[in-house]
Amino acid sequence: MPAYPSGLISLVSLTFLSASAVIRILLYILTPKAAALTLTLMLKTAVVGLVFDLATLSYALLPLSIYLICVPRSFADNRWHNWLVRLFFTLFVAVLLFDGCAEYFFFDEFGTRFNFIAIDYLVYTREVIGNIRESYPLVPIFSAIAATALVLVWLLRNRIDRAAGITFGSRHRRTGFLLLILPLAVLVLVNVSQTAISSNNFANELAGNGIYNLVAAFRNNELSFSQFYRTAPEDKVLSRLHTLTAERNNRYIAPDTVRLTRHITAEGPEKHLNLIVVVEESLSSEYLGSFGNKQNLTPNLDRLAAKSLIFTNLYATGTRTVRGLEALTLSIPPLPGTSIVKRPQNGGFRSWGEILNAKGYDSKYIYAGYGYFDNMNAFFSGNGYKIVDRTDFAKEDVTFANIWGVCDEDLFRKTIREASASYAAGRPFFSMVMTTSNHRPFTYPEGRIDIPSKTGRSGGVKYADYAIGRFIAEASREPWFKDTIVVIVADHCAGSAGKTDIPVKNYEIPMLVHAPHHIKPGKIGRLMSQIDVAPTVLGLMNMNYDTDFMGRDVLKDTGTQLRAFISTYQKLGYLTDDRLLVLGPQKYAAQYLADRSTGILKSQPLDQLLLDDMLAYYQGGNYIYQHRLNRIR
């Protein structure tokens, strides 16, 4: 074999594998001590990580493969050949350095290597690049990357030139074609699920390769439930689902068993109260003083909690805003892959907005940013809501904005104006309001709180609390407020990383229902999920309505075991008072004894009855969704 192809291949391979090893070591250092990575587990992640680094390398060698196949021998003798190879190697090193920086910051933010969130970052470049620019010192970072790449290539210039100066032999094209075979073999033999080497989620993340994970997330944005997950006979699943979704005072009216359409009969006269649902960005329960926090980050919410009906046992369905919006709007468990909000043909559901539209309400989705982000405009407009987003804010309405949108104060002032417009027209209103200030880069107007802008999550939480307090104070002066229910609920927690399959503690979120003239303050400790919010609030309003919701009114004593749904984009969780069942790709299933007060999980044998209930919701929900798509098509 000629020295040129193998020499350059060796150099590229050694550089790539060295960079991958350094990145893995950096992420080891960044992993929290609570991850409890033993020496044995670290060695295992290193071995499996090397396999995935080699798999990724097979794809990284494709440009070199094409070079070997296409470049004629005569060009190798040209003086520009050395410079071209140097340029290629400089860009290659710069990309690896950029990947290292990106993976470091991504892991620091999300506790994982690249996944479906990174795919979203590639799609919505305006918001994401703006967020990165406002959060990190990009000029020094990119300058350091460029300088390091140039220095490394300069130090290796003799080695690079020797490889570049060797004349092509007769076999260089054969070597190029052989390199094409490697990624094909990897495509067949390697799967991202093979990084699941233990029950420790941090170890599983470290065993992967960020670039490989990124491509895998792009390919698996939607996962076939029947292909990747455990299943049961469909008739059994649907029958059980009908039983689990049954409530007191409701009757099924669907013409077939594939749908869950039923009529909910209220237990008193309907209350056509106005409704404002504030979906607060990243508001974990752990930040509220009423949930035990001692940092005084939420004085306004804590005062409001004492005058509200507060739900203390609520879990987010996922780790991203679109998961929260999906659950709150459609009342369905999370399907594997990307949220319905971001899927095509996501309109026409019997949503919370559609139900209240039938009662004469003005239903609006009010968002601080541009609603094209995450496909929110298409989703909400297709499900009965009028869109009010950044484009609807006049210049004089904006006192402060960052890349994600206007500050919470400006958003709430707009919410009050929209409510007053509906009130003046003599119509009750339903506003779902999505905030953005409690999000990196954590910038907000100066002088509002005692934590300077852009100093971290604590400031974001305290400013969000300040804005809510001001909103309640200003709204309470409006004539419509006495007949208005204000619901404050989080879209998801501030962080979802943990060493377990699904870290239960990282899904706990608060919900306050404030209507001092209509709803008695108190605490509700019944286990619930975001999919239960809409039916529970509609129950407080004594609404009679037709529904396809899979959630339930938790204030009704149904006698059925309470449960919550929590998920990543691949793993699905089913939580009861003391157990957690987790399903994943490759027919993965695990059950744990769950101490929800500490988040500690202990492995248990699978309970078939619990698995049947879980499949009823997840497999049944997926089946109903797919059946609906087939009808549309």
Q: What does the pLDDT look like over 479-505, one tens digit per residue? A: 999 999 999 999 999 865 554 568 888
Number of domains, the chain:
2
Domain-embedded: residue 227: no
Nearest Cα neighbor of 9 from 88, 95, 98 is 88
Secondary structure letter of residue 441 according to DSSP: T
Helices 39-60, 62-70: crossing angle, 10 deg rounding = 30
Same domain, 214 and 352: no
Same domain, 206 and 241: no
Helix (H, G, I), strand (E, B) or coil at 114: coil
- What pLDDT shows up at residue 120? 65
Same domain, 259 and 146: no
pLDDT tens sequence across 157-194: 888 777 665 545 556 677 778 888 888 888 888 887 78
Same domain, 28 and 65: yes
What's CA 334's distance to the chain center, in Å?
11
**End residue of a domain, out of 169, 191, 219:** 219
Q: Phi then psi for 197, rounded to 5 degrees?
A: -95, -10
Three-state DSSP string of 263-306:
EECCCCCCCCCEEEEEEECCCCHHHCHHHCCCCCCCHHHHHHHC
Same domain, 299 and 439: yes
- What pLDDT shows up at residue 226? 79
Same domain, 241 and 124: no
Three-state DSSP string of 18-51:
HHHHHHHHHHHHHCCHHHCCCHHHHHHHHHHHHH
Q: Is the pLDDT of residue 1 over 50?
A: no
Give the pairing type, strands 262-264 and 545-547. antiparallel
What CATH number is attached to the domain comprising 247? Answer: 3.40.720.10
**End residue of a domain, out of 165, 189, 219:** 219
- What pLDDT shows up at residue 304? 97
Q: Is the pLDDT of residue 262 over 70?
A: yes
Average pLDDT score over residue span 446-456 = 94
What residue numbers bound the domain in which 82 lies? 3-219
Separation between Cα atoms, residue 103 and residue 116, nearest integer Å = 14
Total count of residues recorded for the chain: 633
pLDDT tens sequence across 533-582: 999 999 999 999 999 999 999 998 666 678 999 998 788 999 998 999 99
Nearest Cα neighbor of 209 from 199, 220, 195, 197 is 195
Same domain, 171 and 88: yes
Domain-embedded: residue 381: yes
- What pLDDT shows up at residue 525? 93
Same domain, 168 and 238: no
Domain-embedded: residue 522: yes
Domain-embedded: residue 229: no
Same domain, 335 and 193: no
Kind and range of the H or E element at 485?
strand 484-490
Domain-embedded: residue 224: no
pLDDT tens sequence across 509-530: 999 999 999 999 999 999 999 9
Q: Phi then psi for 266, rounded to 5 degrees?
A: -75, 160
**The pair of three-digit structure tokens given for residue 562, joined into one six-digit string:** 């309470």
pLDDT tens sequence across 281-323: 999 999 999 999 999 999 999 999 999 999 999 999 998 899 9
Q: Is the pLDDT of residue 419 over 60?
A: yes
Place of tokens 């001001």: 470
Domain-embedded: residue 225: no
Give the pairing type, strands 309-315 and 528-529. parallel
Long-range contacts of 18-25 (CB under 8 A, 24+ apart): 19/96, 19/97, 19/99, 19/100, 20/49, 20/53, 20/56, 20/209, 21/53, 22/100, 23/99, 23/100, 23/103, 23/104, 23/210, 24/49, 24/206
Helix (H, G, I), strand (E, B) or coil at 77: coil
Is 362 within 8 Å of 430 (Cβ atoms)?
yes
Cα of first residue to Cα of last residue in the chain, in angstroms, is 55
Domain-embedded: residue 226: no
Region label for 33, one of left (φ > 0), alpha (ψ between -120 and 50) or beta (otherwise): alpha
Helix (H, G, I), strand (E, B) or coil at 190: coil
**Beta-carbon contacts of residue 518 (< 8 Å; ≥ 6 apart):** 271, 273, 483, 485
pLDDT tens sequence across 187-245: 888 887 788 787 787 888 888 898 888 887 776 666 678 777 899 999 899 999 988 88
Is 365 within 8 Å of 435 (Cβ atoms)?
no
**The pair of three-digit structure tokens given for residue 189, joined into one six-digit string:** 């033999």
Is 135 within 8 Å of 460 (Cβ atoms)?
no
Separation between Cα atoms, residue 270 and residue 255, nearest integer Å = 27
Q: Where are the beta strands (DSSP E) in 154-308?
A: 250-252, 262-264, 274-280
**End residue of a domain, out of 192, 219, 246:** 219
Is 259 within 8 Å of 245 (Cβ atoms)?
no
Average pLDDT score over residue span 416-428 = 97
Domain-embedded: residue 416: yes
Q: How confident is the model at residue 77 (pLDDT cuts 50, 70, 90)?
A: low
**The pair of three-digit structure tokens given for residue 369, joined into one six-digit string:** 């940013």
- What pLDDT shows up at residue 84? 83
Average pLDDT score over residue span 339-344 = 89
Q: Of residues 411 and 440, which shows the higher confidence score?
A: 411
Nearest Cα neighbor of 493 from 568, 563, 598, 551 is 568
Separation between Cα atoms, residue 401 and residue 405, nearest integer Å = 5
**231-234-239-245 Cα dihedral, nearest 10 degrees:** 60
Helix (H, G, I), strand (E, B) or coil at 545: strand
Same domain, 330 and 463: yes
Same domain, 332 and 420: yes
Same domain, 496 and 545: yes
- What pLDDT shows up at residue 52? 93
